[in-house]
Amino acid sequence: MPHDAALCATQQPCEICPIRYRAVCAHCEGDELAELEGMKFYRRYEAGQVVVWAGDRMDFVASVIAGMAGLTQQLEDGRTQMVGLLLPSDFLGRPGREVAAYTVTATSDLMLCCFRRKPFEKLLIENPRIASRLLEMTLDELDAARDWLLLLGRKSAREKIASLLVILARRAAALVKRRPEGRIVIELPLTREAMADYLGLTLETVSRQMSTLKREGVIELDGKRRVIVPSFVRLVTESGDDSDGGPLS
Amino acid sequence: MPHDAALCATQQPCEICPIRYRAVCAHCEGDELAELEGMKFYRRYEAGQVVVWAGDRMDFVASVIAGMAGLTQQLEDGRTQMVGLLLPSDFLGRPGREVAAYTVTATSDLMLCCFRRKPFEKLLIENPRIASRLLEMTLDELDAARDWLLLLGRKSAREKIASLLVILARRAAALVKRRPEGRIVIELPLTREAMADYLGLTLETVSRQMSTLKREGVIELDGKRRVIVPSFVRLVTESGDDSDGGPLS
DNA sequence: CCAGGACCTTGACCCAAATCAAATGCCCCA
DNA sequence: TGGGGCATTTGATTTGGGTCAAGGTCCTGG
């Protein structure tokens, strides 16, 4: 069956696809996934709830269906850095690793489509197509991590905030509404503290920079968690990287 | 044939293994790799030489045989961040990507074992074992990138320096000599500027922190590029993370 | 053996972001 | 309707690391 973009792009969870419910679905991949029935289950978490603690045994891997989660790492003295951002269609867990290396926390209400580890690993071996899809996704994640390294290592606080908004606007189509005249509305699925942990800043600095961007008209705030972007191009400029790749630019 | 740890761990390049000459070799993987003959070639680069520029076409992928290279990303105004560190056995290039996303520079003299892209990709499809090895390596790289995010986001300059030395000591067995009484000697394959680009610092700060660590007896310097670590445990303490995983700890 | 240049160190000063400390707003539930 | 608790904002102050500037060291090639 041919790829059905409309069906794949829907916000409804695909009931069959094991990995990426939006870009790959039963309608695209065919019957090879039918065997997955019976090895998967859904779980929901509330904002702030911990999915797994680093060091805990994790007997499943999962695909994010809705909401957002963060992978988090800590130094002994409590300094915290987010090291992974999971949005719908992202994959959680690592084949072959039974013990979680990072703490996973729902930063907003979260819905996961989970697969029991053992049968999933068996599936990977038997089904090179899924394995290769997983490799591709991992490579994309690595690229994202590398952009993040540049952000953490070399960008100013203001550029970091702008970059985060750009990332959310580009990746989280579900969070974004386009308004007439090109205005964009972003529902922030993170607290200021989670933003700070993502950006390697303190929450006070995040708050101050949000205020500054607002004062200068780069963004508007409607409540604390809704950001309106009058000019996306302007926001991208503020983010420091000129890459015009990706949607919305 | 069973895994031969001694043979795999040798510093000699494995003439057959396409991906990781130390951990996987013809002796472990068997004949499935024989078909690789004829699709591979070696290249050497001098310290400072650029392997590929971001945006350039790259018609091969490669395995690092000796030396060290850095992947580097830049903002328009020239701020530079290293986003990948390639040591012997690391893999360079991404299947399916013909245009390099990052600039690759040899930070020391470098030897690559290269594979022409097309036949390599064909091989990946036909040989799930190699594909799965590549997935595993990519996941390891992602883990390393995540530790790096923590380093850039939350560590002090001093901790960053100590962390880099720990990483080099753990990963680059080829660079490290153990002396009696547990002393370790590290040959730094990077300039101070490359260290700064890795750590998200300026070269002046790197130099200052090296001097401080020396003054306090955490390290000794023999010339500019040879670091002697009297107590590795002490160095790990200075690095901020208490993880005692990995060799040498 | 000396000159030039690349690489590194050190000093003085400055500034962006952290830290410490108070408000303020907001939501939920009694 | 009001109060408790959390998230957020804002202010005052400090500080780690950046910036600018001046040497120093070592290697190489003439």
B221: closest CA of chain A, how far (Å):
26
Q: Which DSSP state fits A30? A: G
Q: Do B152 and A155 touch (CB under 8 A)?
A: no
SS3 assignment, position B214:
helix
When pLDDT is cut at 50, 70 and 90, the band that residue B30 belongs to is very low
> In angstroms, how far is D1 C1' from A217 CA?
37
High-pLDDT (> 70) share of chain B, %: 80
- CATH architecture assigned to B5-149: Sandwich (2.60)
pLDDT band at B6 (very low <50, low <70, confident <90, very high): very low
Please tell me the predicted confidence (pLDDT) of residue A164. Answer: 97
| Edge-to-edge strand list for the sheet holding B80-86 | B50-52, B103-106, B69-74, B80-86
Nearest CA in chain B to A71: B146
User: What's residue B15's pLDDT?
Assistant: 43
Q: What pLDDT score does A5 carry?
A: 45
Residue with tokens 């957002």: A68
Q: Cα(B213)–Cα(A179) distance, rounded to whole angstroms?
A: 55
Arithmetic mean of pLDDT, A241-245: 69
Residues of chain B whose beta carbon is less than 8 angstroms from a beta carbon of chain A are: 71, 73, 75-76, 79-84, 94-96, 101-102, 124-125, 128, 131-132, 134-136, 138-139, 141-143, 145-150, 152-155, 199-200, 240-242
Percent of chain B with pLDDT over 90: 59
Instruction: Write the pLDDT tens digit of every residue in A85-121.
Output: 999 888 999 999 999 999 999 999 998 888 889 988 9
Residues 92-151 of A with CB under 7 A from strand D: none
Residue A35: pLDDT above 60?
Answer: no
CATH number of A38-149: 2.60.120.10
pLDDT at B18: 47
What secondary structure does DSSP assign to B56-124, as a single string?
A: SB--EEEEEEES-EEEEEE-TT--EEEEEEE-TT-EES-TT--B-SSEEEESS-EEEEEEEHHHHHHHH
Residue B134: both structure tokens together: 């590549």
In which residue ranges of chain A is CATH 1.10.10.10 found?
156-238
| pLDDT (tens digit per residue) in B218-232 | 999 999 999 999 999
> At which residue do the structure tokens 């503020």 appear?
A238
What is the CATH topology of the domain spanning A156-238?
Arc Repressor Mutant, subunit A (1.10.10)
CATH code 1.10.10.10 for B155-239: yes
The Cα B15–Cα A244 span in angstroms is 42
| Residue ranges matching CATH 2.60.120.10 in chain B | 5-149
CB-CB neighbors (< 8 A) of A142 in chain B: 138, 141-142, 145
Q: How far apart, in whole angstroms, are the C-alpha atoms of residue B211 and residue B203? A: 12
CA of A126 to C1' of C26 (A): 53
Phi-psi region of A90 (alpha: psi -120 to 50; beta: other; left: phi over 0): beta
Hits for CB < 7 Å against strand C across B residues 165-194: 191-193
In chain B, which residues fall in CATH 1.10.10.10? 155-239
- The size of the A-B interface in CB pairs under 8 A is 113
DSSP alpha helices (H): ranges in chain B?
5-9, 26-29, 117-126, 128-154, 157-171, 192-199, 203-215, 232-239
- Which span out of A114-123, B58-67, B72-81 was modeled with the highest average pLDDT? B72-81
* A183: confidence class by pLDDT, cuts 50, 70, 90: confident
Element (H, E) at A112: strand A110-116
Provide the CA A203 to C1' C26 distance, Å, integer: 18
Residue A73 and residue B240: Cβ atoms within 8 Å? no
What pLDDT, in 10s, does the model give residues A151-173?
A: 999 999 999 999 999 999 988 76
* Closest nucleotide to the alpha carbon of A224, via C1': D8
How far, in Å, CA of B190 to CA of B187, rounded? 9
